[in-house]
């Protein structure tokens, strides 16, 4: 290969940092000894790596562009094989494995110390509501257990208010480099400093309450305003009510997930409410009017005028008939208006009759010529059977 670093990576001399990285990533993949069939792949791979090492470093690149040797006495000659220290890649006799991984797989490792003050995580809590609370909305307290600002150090993490000092292990870099000997030479890997955990600084006298984290866990009670029409699975977003961040950083968000408890009378179906009313056979045959309870009856300050609604049952109503009462269901969460209240009627056949009642029914059957009726199979839509199944399931 050419000894011109730009030509090795296929770049112009005006190439920027991103172009250099992309070119190296492409060439490194092509020339890697594990994937290339070229017998000189190892040598070419080393040359590509050295070209990237020079051109990606502004100081080495400037020296190279001026005709100088960025490796002192190393140069390309020292790179064509293993040097005396058993490594390759320049005067240091080592190879930065972290840079190679970053370039080949398109990853950028975190460089330098990480900040102590960071945004907190979002939190998720669940709230149980009665059906009326979910339908009409409610404001209620909710206990939560999250990380809050440390009351002792006010988030600084220091017991006496002193500022963090530079870490003596990494000298403020937040990371340390380890060198490992291998068959291809010395491999350098970089990881977070174990002394300062990557911060680059240490707190001389950490707060005894939070151990220097600037936050502690605590139970508190917040007030949640639940809009009308929510259902199980809906989430209410409360900004900045989540976990306080490390170092007293800004709090994340809190999401309150709603769970609506089952109701003993009503079953919710979207924005509709469904209920089942048992009706005597005579009332179904003759028709009647009955008072139906509404969901408003569950409200603490229920209005007697809205707590019930009158339902007119036409004569000859059959078991399984559903009558819809408009705008008596659940208020819609979006768009306004309300769903319906569906009333499914179950006609009950009397099971205990005295002699007089039995005689009256016998006379009725004779007049209707139903003393020995012939049964017939009636085809019904799926909706009728579904309503009957749900009705019996609620009994």
Q: List the pLDDT tens digit at each of the 395 positions of the chain.
A: 457 888 888 888 888 888 898 888 888 878 776 667 777 877 888 888 888 888 888 888 887 887 776 765 443 333 333 333 333 344 344 445 555 555 444 444 446 688 999 999 999 999 999 999 999 999 999 999 999 999 999 999 999 888 999 999 999 999 998 887 766 677 788 889 999 999 999 999 999 999 999 999 999 999 999 999 999 999 999 999 999 999 999 999 999 999 999 999 999 999 999 999 999 999 999 999 999 999 999 999 888 888 999 999 999 999 999 999 999 999 999 988 999 999 999 999 999 999 999 999 999 999 998 888 766 665 655 555 565 566 555 54
The reply, when asked if residue 170 is annotated as ligand binding, is: yes
The reply, when asked if residue 71 is annotated as ligand binding, is: no
**What are the C-alpha distances in Å from 169 to residues 126, 191, 192, 195, 213?**
45, 13, 11, 7, 20
The reply, when asked if residue 153 is annotated as ligand binding, is: yes
The reply, when asked if residue 346 is annotated as ligand binding, is: no
The reply, when asked if residue 360 is annotated as ligand binding, is: no
Task: Please determine whether the domains at 123-160+208-260 and 267-393 fall in the same fold group of CATH.
Answer: yes
* Rounded Cα gap, residues 79 and 56, in angstroms: 17
Which CATH fold topology does 5-105 show? Helix Hairpins (1.10.287)
What class is the 123-160+208-260 domain?
mainly beta
Q: Mention every residue, 6+ apart, whose C-beta is less than 8 A from residue 389.
A: none
Q: Mention every residue, 6+ apart, whose C-beta is less than 8 A from residue 141.
A: 221, 222, 223, 224
Q: Which pLDDT value is given to residue 88?
A: 38
The reply, when asked if residue 195 is annotated as ligand binding, is: no
* Rounded Cα gap, residues 83 and 92, in angstroms: 10
Give residue for tokens 């809009």: 227
Q: Indicate the pTM of the whole model.
A: 0.64
Homologous superfamily of 267-393 in CATH? Urease metallochaperone UreE, N-terminal domain (2.60.260.20)
Parse the chain into domains and list their residue ranges.
5-105, 123-160+208-260, 165-202, 267-393
Residues linked to residue 288 through DSSP beta bridges, in sequence order: 313
The reply, when asked if residue 145 is annotated as ligand binding, is: no
The reply, when asked if residue 86 is annotated as ligand binding, is: no
């Amino acid at each position: 290969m050419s000894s011109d670093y730009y030509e090795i990576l296929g770049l112009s001399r005006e190439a920027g940092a991103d172009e250099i990285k992309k070119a190296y990533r492409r060439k490194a993949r092509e020339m890697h000894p594990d994937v290339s069939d070229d017998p000189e792949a190892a040598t070419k791979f080393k040359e590509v790596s050295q070209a990237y090492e020079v051109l990606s470093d502004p100081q080495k690149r400037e020296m190279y562009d001026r005709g100088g040797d960025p490796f002192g006495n190393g140069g390309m000659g020292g790179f064509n094989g293993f040097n005396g220290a058993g490594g390759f890649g320049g005067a240091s006799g080592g190879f930065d494995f972290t840079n190679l991984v970053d370039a080949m797989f398109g990853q950028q490792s975190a460089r330098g110390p990480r900040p102590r003050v960071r945004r907190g995580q979002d939190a998720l809590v669940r709230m149980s509501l009665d059906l009326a609370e979910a339908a009409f909305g409610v404001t209620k307290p909710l206990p939560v257990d999250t990380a809050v600002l440390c009351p002792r150090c006010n988030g600084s993490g220091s017991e006496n208010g002193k500022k963090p000092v530079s870490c003596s292990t990494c000298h403020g870099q937040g990371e340390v480099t380890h060198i490992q000997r291998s068959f291809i030479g010395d491999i350098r890997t970089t990881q977070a400093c174990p002394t300062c955990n990557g911060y680059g600084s240490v707190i001389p006298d950490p707060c005894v309450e939070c151990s220097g984290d600037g936050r502690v866990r605590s139970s508190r009670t917040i007030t949640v305003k639940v809009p009308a029409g929510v259902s199980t699975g809906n989430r209410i977003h409360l900004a900045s009510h989540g976990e306080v961040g490390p170092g007293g950083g800004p709090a994340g968000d809190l999401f309150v997930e709603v769970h609506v408890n089952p109701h003993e009378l009503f079953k919710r179906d979207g924005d509709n409410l469904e209920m089942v009313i048992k009706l005597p056979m005579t009332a179904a045959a003759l028709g009647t009017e009955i008072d139906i309870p509404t969901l408003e009856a569950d409200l603490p300050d229920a209005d007697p005028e809205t707590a019930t609604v009158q339902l007119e049952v036409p004569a000859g109503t059959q078991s399984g008939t559903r009558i819809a009462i408009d705008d008596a269901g659940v208020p819609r969460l979006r768009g306004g208006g309300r769903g319906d209240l569906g009333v499914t009627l179950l006609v009950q056949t009397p099971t205990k009759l005295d002699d007089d009642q039995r005689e009256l029914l016998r006379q009725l059957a004779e007049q209707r010529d139903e003393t020995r009726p012939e049964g017939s199979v009636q085809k019904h839509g799926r909706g009728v059977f579904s309503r009957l199944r749900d009705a019996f399931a609620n009994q």
